[in-house]
Amino acid sequence: MIELTLPLTKEQVKELKAGDSVLLSGVILTARDCAHKRIMEYIRAGRPLPFELKDAIIYYAGPCPAKPGMASGSCGPTTSARMDSFAPALLDLGLGGMIGKGEMCGEVAAALERNTAVYFAAIGGAGALYGNAIKTSECVAFDDLLSEAVYRLEVVKFPLVVAMDCHGGNIYR
């Protein structure tokens, strides 16, 4: 089991191999279908994004509302393939990696290699466990999208598996 704290250096990313189990801690951003559509609109219009994309890790997730006294509600990954058409562009703009579930397409694999980035699989359906590992949560953009807004999460020991690495390794193949 590899313990990692964000942000990751390119050297650390290069050491990760598909199939490695990882406990990840640090700051990540959530974004899913609607948020990605909005991010692309900003990029096309040349508007600055309301958060830093460079070296960020995007978690494909839309949390449940938090109960009183908790930082987050349940917050497992959503199916990453729906973000296939967005991920290469964001990786080319400096995105450090993604967390989601299920395989992503060949264009994403190529963009991970070209940018020395990594795609982690969270365990789909383990929403309560991930929600419980979130220590702070703050909406940083697109709050009108409710659960689909962009949240900045501070997470401790997220259990993940390296799904697609920067050397073309792919756990699903």
Partner 1 sequence: MRIVNTDEIERAVYRAARHAGVNLTTSCRAALESAYESEDDEAAKFALGTLIDNSNVAVEKCMPVCQDTGMAVVILEIGNEVFLEGKPVCEAVNSGVRAAYSDGYFRKSVCDPITRKNTADNTPAAIHTEIVSGDKITLTFMPKGFGSENMSALYMLKPAQGVEGIIDAIVETVKKAGSRPCPPVYVGVGIGGTFDGCAYLAKKALTREIGSRSQRDDIAQIEEEALKRINNLNIGCQGFHGKTTALGVSCEWAPTHIAGLPVAVNIQCHCVRCVKEVL
Considering only residues 78, 115, 116, 137, which one is a binding residue for partner 1 as defined by CB under 8 A?
Answer: 78
Question: Within a 10 A sphere around the Cβ of 34, how many other Cβ atoms?
Answer: 16
Nearer to partner 1, 53 or 64 (CB): 64
Cβ nearer to partner 1, comparing 67 with 167: 67
Q: State the virtual CA torsion across 56, 82, 36, 171 in degrees, nearest 10.
A: 10
Give yes or no for residue 26 binding partner 1 (CB under 8 A). Answer: no
**Which residue is catalytic, options 31, 32, 36, 78?**
36
Supply the minimum distance, in Å, between the C-beta of residue 94 and partner 1: 27
Among 93, 110, 146, 156, binds partner 1 (CB under 8 A): 146
Told to check if 169 binds partner 1 by CB under 8 A, we report no
Residue 68 to residue 114: CA distance in whole angstroms: 43
Active-site residue 36, yes or no? Answer: yes
Which residue, 25, 39, 11, 38, is CA-closest to 120?
25
How far, in Å, CA of 117 to CA of 119, rounded?
7
Find the shortest distance in angstroms from Cβ 21 to partner 1: 5
Distance between CA 130 and CA 74 in Å, rounded?
7
Catalytic residue annotation: 36
